[in-house]
Amino acid sequence: ESPSAWSQKPPPYKPPSISPSDPPLVFNILILGPTQSGKSTFIESTKLYADPLYKINDDRLGNGNESCTSNVHEETVTTCLPIYKLYDLDNDQEVDTFQINTERSFKKLLAREDDIEIRVEEVPDSKIVQFRIFDTPGLNDTNENDIQNIAKIFSALSKVKELHLVLIMDSQGVPLLPSQKSAFKTYFDLFPELKNLMTIVHTHVPNKHRYPEANPKLEAKLSERSNFFKGIASQGVTFKKIDCDLDEKGPVHVWLTRNTIREILKIATIKTPVTMKRTHVHKLKTMTDVDDVVHRKYAGILDATLKACEARGKLSEAAQLALKIEDTKREIEAKKRLISDHDNDDLQPLFEEEFDEGVGFIGWFQDLVGRANEIHSMKFKMQQYNIDRMRVNEQGIEVLSMSGGENHRCWDVRFKRKAFNPGCYHVVLSMTKRTENQDAIKKWKSELDTSNKNLEDQNKEHTTLTVTAQQHIGDPSENLEQLLAKTNKCHMMKDHTAAKILSVDLFLELADSGIYKGSDVDGNALALEKHLVKKFGIDW
């Protein structure tokens, strides 16, 4: 950094080091956005936030026309989330930024350089945390192969246990084209669980326009872009503004950027994470159109096989029971998967609300006459089961009363903002899948016990029937086994192509094979059939 941002002496701050005996909590962040929306620049700025002496990696930055990221790129940032503060060199006192109550005084502060410096201060009792940030190719660099590009991203995330935040980088200087909107919708239609992790970062917003109502035209533009993302999200979306101009060395500019990055990183620490191994891919219509072609073909083969068996007298009572046994086995496996997906400690978001009030143009004067004494409240009404997890991010707030929360069925809080301070109170309540579905889990386990008992009885009956049949019809076992195997394989093909969701592993497997690429339904159906024939060991 230049002397304009820091005093001549090195800043009295050293980034934290990790102790092998006390590993930090790890939070995983996925960054999405078009080319030149500021994804790689944001990561470099985040490294500068964590370590003010970090040397910028120019190779990670684009040239202004092309993305610098052609594959998913992982970066790790270790920090204790310090706060950046401004100090006046004349009196060695912290600059009282809350006295900046007009646009003119704000711009005057931005222009200060030689008589001001930045200092980094750790928050008392702060803990070391680690952020793994996944940078992705620009949405407009995918050659319209969105599914393959998404598969590339989630292949890189396959080693991640949980995902904590999805940052959408939206540059106000880059047009939000229909193709990019379509790509965003594709991402979240395939992985709707990620909608709860979405945070929008409006990039390339000049700091001189960060002051409230400084640029109404820009605010209207950002509001219009924000409405698109609100339409995708399932719950409220957090929006942040930032100018990650790495060439801007002005102390106040650096102070604004670094503290905004801190706010964004803190969001990752309180969001309800998504467990990746339990995440499912929801098929798009373009995918189900391909599946339907294969499904109809093997439904016809199955029907013809059953009719041939009946017509030739090959399908004895034992063979019919064998089909029922296979149905029962599939029913048992499906019930086990259902129980496994719900009888766990994965968290589900119940309630999220954010209070964020700044001082603003005239807010400082309003605080003088009591605005800061206004009492605010949040409430989560009584529900059937307990809240399992509560995370709160608060700053500049005085909590007056609170009841309920974790291990209770409801929660409420009353608070007010501290005078002449911006106030933030962000709460996320969650419940485990086990708690949420406890009645259904009990029912499913009872049904599973019944199915296991049925399977045991069916196997005993099948053994008896087979022995009896062998005594009367000679040795038709070869044909019988072939027919049973064929019907079972047809069921496997039908079950796969009828399913509306896929595991992440299977989705990656299909995408890696080039299936669902482009708009050729018949060509993709042929490729899908060849892949599944090999996967299921079909040899007829």
Record the tokens describing residue 379, joined without a space: 């409430």
Among candidate residues 270, 294, 265, the one with its CA nearest the CA of residue 131: 265
Kindly give the pairing relationship between strand 165-171 and strand 25-32. Answer: parallel
Q: Is 248 exposed, middle or buried (0-12, 13-18, 19+ CB in 10 A)?
A: middle
Q: What is the structure's pLDDT at 146?
A: 77
N-terminal to C-terminal alpha carbon distance within the chain: 69
Average pLDDT in the 49-63 region? 83
What pTM does this model have? 0.83
- Residue recorded with tokens 């974790």: 406
Average pLDDT in the 398-414 region? 97
Q: What is the structure's pLDDT at 65?
A: 52
Q: At what angle do helices 477-498 and 317-342 cross, to 10 degrees?
A: 30
State the pLDDT confidence band at 1, using cuts at 50, 70 and 90: very low
State the pLDDT confidence band at 313, using cuts at 50, 70 and 90: low
Contact 501, 510 (CB under 8 A): no
Q: What is the structure's pLDDT at 208?
A: 84
The Cα 337–Cα 482 span in angstroms is: 29
Domains of the chain: 25-81+125-278 (3.40.50.300), 280-343+437-536 (no CATH), 347-436 (no CATH)
Q: What is the structure's pLDDT at 22?
A: 83
Low-confidence winner among 45-59, 163-177, 296-310 (lowest mean pLDDT): 296-310
pLDDT in tens, 444-487: 999 999 999 999 999 999 888 777 766 654 434 446 677 778 88
Q: What is the structure's pLDDT at 500?
A: 93
Average pLDDT in the 405-419 region? 95
pLDDT in tens, 203-248: 999 888 877 677 888 888 888 888 899 888 867 789 999 987 888 8
Record the tokens describing residue 143, joined without a space: 């050659």
Q: How far is CA 150 from the centre of its chain?
A: 13
Among candidate residues 248, 262, 260, the one with its CA nearest the CA of residue 111: 248
Average pLDDT in the 413-436 region? 93
State the pLDDT confidence band at 407, using cuts at 50, 70 and 90: very high
Query: Per mean pLDDT, which of 17-31, 211-225, 409-423 is the most reliable?
Result: 409-423
Q: What is the structure's pLDDT at 143?
A: 52
Low-confidence winner among 105-114, 189-198, 286-295, 513-522 (lowest mean pLDDT): 105-114
Beta-strand ranges (E) seen in 248-346 are 274-275, 280-282
Query: What DSSP string runs through 449-483?
Result: HHHHHHHHHHHHHHHHHHHHHHHHH-S-HHHHHHH
The Cα 512–Cα 510 span in angstroms is: 5
The Cα 28–Cα 47 span in angstroms is: 15
Among candidate residues 333, 329, 338, the one with its CA nearest the CA of residue 278: 338
Low-confidence winner among 56-70, 390-404, 485-499 (lowest mean pLDDT): 56-70
- Does pLDDT of 10 surpass 80? no
- Does pLDDT of 508 surpass 80? yes
Q: What is the structure's pLDDT at 365?
A: 67
State the pLDDT confidence band at 114, using cuts at 50, 70 and 90: confident
- Does pLDDT of 418 surpass 60? yes
Residue type (1 letter), 501: I
Q: How far is CA 133 from the centre of its chain?
A: 12
Q: What is the structure's pLDDT at 101?
A: 74
Q: Residue 404: helix, strand or coil by DSSP?
A: strand
pLDDT in tens, 354-403: 999 877 666 666 777 677 789 999 999 999 999 999 999 999 999 999 99
Arithmetic mean of pLDDT over the chain: 86
Q: Which residues pair with 429 in a beta bridge?
A: 351, 390
- Does pLDDT of 304 surpass 60? yes
Q: What is the structure's pLDDT at 334?
A: 94
Task: Give the Å distances, CA to CA, from 124 to 16, 83, 121.
Answer: 14, 11, 9
Q: What is the structure's pLDDT at 43?
A: 94
State the pLDDT confidence band at 442, using cuts at 50, 70 and 90: very high
Task: Give the Å distances, CA to CA, from 253 to 111, 190, 235, 246, 277.
Answer: 9, 38, 32, 10, 41
The Cα 352–Cα 354 span in angstroms is: 7
